[in-house]
Amino acid sequence: MPLSLFPPDGLAEPGAPRPVLPLAAYREAIGLDEPFRPAAAPAPADRLDDQVRTVLRMLSGDPAVSRLGLRAGSPLDPGTADAATARRLLRALLTVRPPGPLPGAAAELLDAVLGAERRLRPAVAVRQLPSIAEEFPRTSYRAARHTALWRGDITTLAADAIVNAANSALLGCFRPLHPCIDNAVHSAAGPRLRDDCETVMALQGTSEPTGTAKITRGHHLPARYVLHTVGPITDGRPRTGDAAALAASYRACLGLAAEVGTIRTLAFCAVSTGVFGYPKDEAARVALRTVADWLAAHPDRFDRIVFTVFKADDETAYRRALGTAA
């Protein structure tokens, strides 16, 4: 696959039907039910920086390097960059790198690095989060006892599964250090996540339609699984059908997660409200209503659903929708 910072929007011919691949058609191909076993133990804290630089050197022949300017004597020389810069360079390199095997022992070293970085991000236990009913006792939200509202970094949530807001190529964000959730999830999980997504998309043979979902393992994330869904792109101006498409994304994630028996806790991001531009207040109402309807139709399937927000205005939107805003 040729390197591209902006993957094409799918593989199908214009006007061709866009079949959605069922879980049974790719479950075994990506080893969904196999526990993730990294090739190396987490690097000791006092060796992490050295291992980051070693991985960067091993990847120095990768075609992606030429796009980032990682070369000796440059301002982005991995050998002279400080520790924080070296880690950002590694993240940027993995962001633009296409799917495929890593050279030599790079995979083992990268597992050690990513394992160490996970240890540096304390995991948040979903089951210990207060429910919406506990946190907002005056809310009239129907699903308050089975849901939670939490503000933080979804890549630190120790849920059975988390939801990633993906694009239709489903391979992650290819823009170095772009502040989107797709980039954050792939960066924390490691490059095997992109490899899994490529396997799924190759089997499907076309881009992922809006309002659908796929599932992979979480690899280096605290969550065992990641659900990837494509929400509607609105640029702040929802059109007729966008609310239905957003609701379909939530239902697709819930339905797909329900097919995996070990998933009892599920954390949603605020789908489509980031770079896709869906107005936050409207999106929060759609999310809350859709999840409540699904849970009412499937009682006791999940122990806890978490609405995860990252910024203050995201949290305010949910509080308003719950009738709890100050």
239 near 135, Cβ under 8 Å?
A: no
Is 13 among the domain residues? no
Is 26 among the domain residues? no
pLDDT over 60 at 9, yes or no: no
Number of domains in the chain: 2
| 256 & 298 share domain | yes
| 223 & 109 share domain | no
* Domain residue limits at 71: 45-120
| 115 & 191 share domain | no
| 162 & 84 share domain | no
Per the confidence metrics, is the pTM higher than 0.95? no
Is 129 among the domain residues? yes
Give the residue from 89, 120, 151 where a domain finishes. Answer: 120
- Mean of pLDDT values over 107-115: 96
The better pLDDT of the pair 89, 62 is held by 89
- Mean of pLDDT values over 247-256: 98
Is 36 among the domain residues? no
Mean predicted lDDT score pLDDT of the chain: 89
Whole-number pLDDT of residue 325: 61
Amino acid at 181: I
Give the residue from 87, 120, 153 where a domain finishes. Answer: 120
| 147 & 237 share domain | yes
| 116 & 200 share domain | no
Q: Which residues of 58-92 are buried (b: 16+ CB within 10 A; e: fewer)?
A: bbeebebbebbebeeeeebbbeebeeeebbbbbbb
Contacts of 94 (CB under 8 A, 6+ apart): 186, 187, 190, 191
**pLDDT band of 67, cuts 50, 70, 90:** low
| 188 & 97 share domain | no
pLDDT over 80 at 181, yes or no: yes
| 62 & 127 share domain | no
